[in-house]
Structure 1
Amino acid sequence: MKIRGSKITSYTGYVVVIGASAGGMEALCTLISQLGDDFPAPILIVQHISADASGDYLLKAIQRAGKLRCVHAIHGKQIQAGFIYLAPSDHHMLIHGDGKLQVTKGAQENRYRPGIDPLFRSAAVGFTNRLIGIILTGYLDDGTAGLIAIQRCGGTCIIQDPADAQYPDMPTNAMNQLEADYILPVSEIGNLLTKLTTKKLPLRRKTVPKDILTEANIAERVLSDLQAVNSLGEQVPFNCPGCGGVLWKIGEGKELRYRCHTGHAYTYKSLLAEQTNKIEETMWTALRMFEERRNLLTTYAKTQTGAVARSAVERSEQSQIHIDRIRAILLADDKSTTPN
């Protein structure tokens, strides 16, 4: 870090980025507790939290667990070694190569804001081989694409041992898609970070692949157009659950992802989970409307006689058939729902 007088001009050391979801608070506290107050790098954390949560409970828990100062990220703030920066709820946290934070309300990625992938990708572009990325406990697979970006840009990748994770999905999915530099229980990651961040800094930056740079720019809203997304993949006959726009397929096989031109992005698993949620919402709406229709017809039949009353009763009974079918589908889906 270069300091001229009291003004910080830019950050030139190592940077650590961490992504966590379900079970993350305990894992993060365990990790942070291992770091001394002289830890020589800034730490940027995305923990999935609900949009209406303040995140203060997490900030205070991390502050109590360790010796480093923990703060919520502020747009335009310069990062400093020895500080922990938390992404605010319902905002992405990105980092520029000059060490300045960007806090944005950009489109959700993998159904989350803050998202792990946007932070990891922006940090990979900004710090390449000076970056250390860590995936901890959580559901589904947010962070995997970002960790791959870190690896492709020359950074170091660490994954919590799934056997050690309270919720092993995120570490397991990351392990299935890349060969991490280290796979460790969280109780050993802190000591490893101290060793890695005290190593001699690399002399040269690694070149950033064009596709990673494009996706990082989209997340910053620098690019968000058809040309940009067309350069990443090909259109597919699916609609974005977030905005209804067309989706583009990015990558192949295990690295298959989807993105729309407004910025929403999904892995296969997060897209499937979001489609399932949308279907369920539609089914519950249909169930309510059929129940209201049945109730209206039943009420109306009681006020009528003859053929009019019989017709209303028949239509009410037909609505009940639809209600029973929809309920059966919802009950069947409830037994096999993918966790959020």
Structure 2
Amino acid sequence: MAVRDIIVIGASAGGTEALVHLVRGLPASFPASLFVVCHVPSGGRSFLPEILSRSGPLLATHAATGEFFPGHVFVAPPGHHLVLEPGAQMRLTHGPRENSHRPAIDPLFRSAARHYGVRVISVVLTGSLSDGTAGTLAVRAAGGVAVAQDPRDAVVAAMPQSASQIAGVDHVVPLADMPRLLIDLVRGPMQAQPGAGTMSAQSNDPSERSSRMVEQTMRSQAHGERRGQVSMFTCPECGGALWQMDEPALIQFRCHVGHAYTAEVLLTEQTDALEAALWTAVRTFREKTVLTQQLATRERERGNEQGAERFEEQASQTARYANLIVEHVLHAGGTGGVSPPDIDDRGAP
């Protein structure tokens, strides 16, 4: 018999305080796994697991790729999406930002819905904008239960309000009542939700369908099947979409303001733009290397050896990235130009 033992939680502005109140009300014997995404800057440090561990009986840690288990709180670390996979597995990814965030709430909710269906309870807490709404739709479509904090009770109402109004959550409760609700949902009898099961298979996931559409568009473009249609290319001059002209004998593109390119000219423009982007990446990596070295020096002067080592590790990594681009991409591709001096693993030229 299926049980609800996967709880996915999303929060943003005001989220730390809300999560503290939530975990404080859960028992030590709680028979479910909790997964938390709270928006944090990708370059910052998160002390949320330590805060939650001190706030209630459940141990909280930053999530890592591997197995998950009940009675534990797994928190998405800064700069990584947290997704669930079959077989009680979780995975961290450095995929594209969603709703301007990484970690984002929607990838966690979608993956939980895709692989665990009716076992999932989603919770949207305080926050701005609408991250979590699409994920809530996925959870409900897969037969899971969706919960939102009462917007009147939230520090910032937009996120739970969006989930409630657009996804139509099953329960809207103030924060004080949420621990008891989750306990009842986990330990109570399983009841089918209205419209349950319409997205129980991965093939019905809207995000999967959109990925397949992109792949199909790229294949049709490569095979010359998009004459007279919007292409997958963008204008090098203005960034607008390019239409492929309906001319069998000539591959030509034009954007809506009038910039026009034959395929050969567009390829040259793309080559130049790619080289410029790569040199920009090298420059950015070099600047980051020097800046992190400067921060390491400051921390060592303050007597903070641990902080200094952390910054030096970042400096070493970014220096390697810059050198790899120059050696294996720019020079290997014969793009020419003058290369910057190599940077050693300590960030020094």
Q: Judge same fold: TM > 0.5, yes or no.
A: yes
**CA–CA separation in structure 2 for the residues paired with 1:187 and 1:212:** 36
Matched, 1:73 2:63: yes
**CA–CA separation in structure 2 for the residues paired with 1:235 and 1:215:** 21
**CA–CA separation in structure 2 for the residues paired with 1:136 and 1:147:** 12
1:1-340 mapped onto 2 (5 Å cutoff): 14-56=5-47, 58-75=48-65, 77-200=66-189, 206=197, 208=200, 212-213=204-205, 215=207, 225-227=214-216
CA contact (8 A) 2:4 2:121 kept: no
CA contact (8 A) 1:72 1:87 kept: yes
Q: Determine helix, strand or coil for the equivalent of 2:205.
A: helix
Letter in 2 for 1:125: R
**CA–CA separation in structure 2 for the residues paired with 1:43 and 1:88:** 14
Give the total of aligned pairs: 225
For the structure 1 residues 40 and 224, does the alpha-carbon distance in structure 2 shift closer, same or farther, using more than 3 Å as the test? farther
**CA–CA separation in structure 1 for the residues paired with 2:85 and 2:53:** 25
For the structure 1 residues 211 and 146, does the alpha-carbon distance in structure 2 shift closer, same or farther, using more than 3 Å as the test? farther
Q: Determine helix, strand or coil for the equivalent of 2:61.
A: strand
**CA–CA separation in structure 2 for the residues paired with 1:228 and 1:73:** 35
CA contact (8 A) 2:203 2:209 kept: no
Letter in 1 for 2:55: A
CA contact (8 A) 1:16 1:42 kept: yes
For the structure 1 residues 236 and 32, does the alpha-carbon distance in structure 2 shift closer, same or farther, using more than 3 Å as the test? farther
Letter in 1 for 2:96: A
1:200 Cα shift?
Answer: 3.9
1:216 Cα shift?
Answer: 5.4
Q: Determine helix, strand or coil for the equivalent of 2:35.
A: strand
1:208 Cα shift?
Answer: 2.0
1:146 Cα shift?
Answer: 0.2
**CA–CA separation in structure 1 for the residues paired with 2:164 and 2:230:** 28
For the structure 1 residues 37 and 175, does the alpha-carbon distance in structure 2 shift closer, same or farther, using more than 3 Å as the test? same
**CA–CA separation in structure 1 for the residues paired with 2:49 and 2:231:** 41
Q: Determine helix, strand or coil for the equivalent of 2:82.
A: strand
CA contact (8 A) 1:130 1:201 kept: no
Q: Determine helix, strand or coil for the equivalent of 1:108.
A: coil
Of stretches 16-25 and 207-216 in structure 1, the one that deviates more from structure 2 is 207-216
Q: Determine helix, strand or coil for the equivalent of 1:158.
A: strand
Q: Determine helix, strand or coil for the equivalent of 1:16.
A: strand
For the structure 1 residues 73 and 186, does the alpha-carbon distance in structure 2 shift closer, same or farther, using more than 3 Å as the test? same
TM-score, length basis structure 1: 0.60
Letter in 2 for 1:130: R
CA contact (8 A) 2:4 2:118 kept: no
1:185 Cα shift?
Answer: 0.5
Work out the percentage of aligned pairs sharing the same amino acid: 34
Q: Determine helix, strand or coil for the equivalent of 2:29.
A: coil
1:226 Cα shift?
Answer: 2.6
**CA–CA separation in structure 2 for the residues paired with 1:68 and 1:224:** 42
1:130 Cα shift?
Answer: 0.8
Letter in 2 for 1:16: I
CA contact (8 A) 2:148 2:172 kept: yes
Letter in 2 for 1:147: T
